[in-house]
């Protein structure tokens, strides 16, 4: 039978009477060596009271853990957050930030209450805060790069799944096994995306004033049971009467990437894999994408959890990490870029005859030549048919035959040059 001392530390904090609450607070903080720390006691009380307004069920240990993390990760900000509020500032709590549609930053009064709520939701699914970084520090940026090599992150998932248009699984393996941390070349698009991210996050918060929006940058999380599963998040949101969800911010120059041939909004496949990885790490049910294309007003897309699809991704990631990265065994090169990286001196070496079956080699080369010519012929034929169908469309949006519908796709608000053919459903 558990003792009352253990019960009041782990029970829902606000269900206790006043004396039990005081006892639970001191005992919980004592486990972190903070029972005599006036800042910690003050912060605990503030987080607990504001968290109670938020109607989340947390224990004294939940709150004490967050007090410890806040003091450990940023003692100056924690102390600033623990200063007594004057009467005229009493209404400037975390709830008023939600009403104003502001993004809640770690230094804001009331941040701790929401952080406890989020951390409680993450811990239920064995997702834990692993590292925190100062995103403005070059030294800590290097530490972040080193940390990324310790596992598979969200941006790595599409490479493992084979759907990343820029980085193959082989190239990702090189990055993870290289002794030196891999620094991404900061192109204009990447630089612009980083600079626009807080603006888009703030826009989303103002558009949804009743939604809690937490800035997630500067933190790295991982799965407790699969410690190689890492995740950095742009943010977290909690909509009214909904669970915590992941906020993912994107900028793009391509209208086509985020729309299908009929002009409907869609999520690019590489970001689907990224979202599934985040859902796998957190156990959450949804990723909310906020996407700005060519500087226009952002739009929102949602990606829902699919447990079977996520299980397949985790299996692929586990195989990549354990059987390739940890064992130092490269995956098979899949692209010409992979081949060039694996055999950088290939063009400088002399020409040699085929060592084994020359007939099989010649047959394969002949097939390649034949198929290449067939592709060129088919592409020419396809272009001619495309033109004929487009001419029949004239100014119409779509044309229906008995079995097929033909339309011109949309690209950035304009009619595309390529037709879309859709088979009509037969009437029963």
pLDDT (0 to 100) of residue 209: 86
Please tell me whether residue 35 adopts helix, strand or coil conformation: coil
The tens place of each residue's pLDDT in the chain, 428 residues long, gives 344 445 677 777 777 887 788 888 888 888 888 888 877 888 788 777 766 655 567 788 888 887 887 676 555 544 444 333 222 233 333 333 333 355 666 555 455 567 777 888 888 898 988 888 777 777 788 888 888 999 999 999 999 999 999 999 999 999 999 877 666 666 788 888 888 999 999 999 989 988 889 888 888 999 999 999 999 999 999 998 899 999 999 999 888 889 887 778 999 999 999 999 999 999 999 999 999 998 899 999 999 999 999 999 999 999 999 999 999 999 988 877 777 777 766 555 666 677 676 788 888 889 989 999 999 989 889 888 888 888 888 777 788 888 888 887 655 444 556 778 888 876 54
Q: Which two tokens stand for residue 33?
A: 């060596």
Strands across the sheet with 127-132, in order? 127-132, 219-223, 230-232
DSSP state of 331: P
The structure tokens 């130092």 sit at 328
Taking the domains of the chain in order of start, what are their residue ranges? 1-124, 125-349, 362-423
- What's the rounded Cα separation, in Å, for the pair 371 and 148? 42
Do residues 169 and 162 touch, judged by C-beta distance below 8 A? Answer: yes
Per CATH, is 125-349 categorized as 3.40.50.10130? no
Q: What torsion do the CA atoms of 37, 41, 43, 49 make, to the nearest 10 degrees? A: 180
User: What is the tens place of the pLDDT at every residue in 252-291?
Assistant: 988 888 988 777 899 999 999 999 999 999 999 999 999 9
């Amino acid at each position: 039978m558990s003792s009352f001392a253990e019960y009041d530390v782990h029970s829902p904090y606000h269900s206790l009477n006043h004396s039990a609450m005081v006892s639970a607070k001191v005992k919980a903080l004592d486990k972190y060596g903070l029972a005599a720390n006036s800042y910690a006691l003050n912060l605990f009380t503030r987080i607990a009271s504001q968290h109670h307004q938020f109607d989340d069920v947390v224990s004294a240990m939940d709150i004490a853990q967050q007090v410890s993390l806040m003091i450990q990760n940023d003692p100056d900000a924690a102390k600033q957050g623990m200063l007594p509020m004057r009467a005229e500032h009493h209404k400037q709590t975390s709830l008023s930030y939600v009403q104003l549609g502001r993004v809640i930053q770690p230094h804001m009064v009331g941040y701790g209450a929401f952080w406890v709520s989020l951390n409680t939701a993450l811990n239920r699914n064995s997702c834990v805060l692993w590292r925190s970084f100062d995103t403005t520090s070059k030294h800590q940026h290097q530490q972040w790069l080193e940390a990324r090599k310790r596992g598979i992150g969200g941006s790595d998932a599409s490479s493992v799944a084979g759907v990343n248009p820029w980085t193959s699984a082989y190239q990702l393996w090189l990055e993870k096994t290289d002794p030196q941390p891999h620094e991404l070349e900061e192109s204009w698009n990447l630089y612009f995306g980083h600079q626009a991210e807080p603006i888009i996050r703030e826009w989303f918060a103002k558009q949804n004033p009743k939604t809690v929006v937490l800035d997630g940058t500067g933190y790295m999380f991982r799965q407790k049971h699969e410690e190689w599963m890492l995740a950095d998040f742009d943010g977290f949101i909690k909509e009214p009467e909904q669970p915590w969800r992941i906020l993912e911010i994107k900028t793009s120059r391509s209208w086509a990437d985020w729309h299908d041939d009929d002009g409907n909004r869609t999520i690019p496949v590489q970001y689907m894999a990224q979202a599934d990885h985040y859902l796998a790490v957190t156990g959450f049910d949804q990723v909310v994408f906020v996407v700005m294309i060519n500087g226009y007003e952002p739009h929102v897309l949602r990606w829902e959890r699919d447990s079977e699809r996520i299980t397949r991704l985790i299996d692929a990631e586990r195989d990549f990490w354990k059987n390739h990265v940890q064992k130092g065994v490269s995956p098979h090169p899949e692209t010409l870029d992979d081949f060039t990286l694996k055999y950088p001196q290939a063009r400088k070496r002399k020409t040699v005859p085929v060592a084994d079956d020359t007939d099989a080699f010649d047959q394969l080369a002949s097939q390649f030549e034949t198929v290449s010519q067939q592709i060129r012929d088919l592409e020419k034929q396809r272009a001619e048919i495309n033109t004929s169908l487009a001419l029949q469309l004239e100014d119409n949006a779509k044309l229906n035959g008995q079995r097929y519908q033909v339309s011109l796709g949309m690209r950035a608000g304009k009619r595309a040059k390529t037709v879309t053919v859709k088979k009509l459903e037969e009437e029963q």
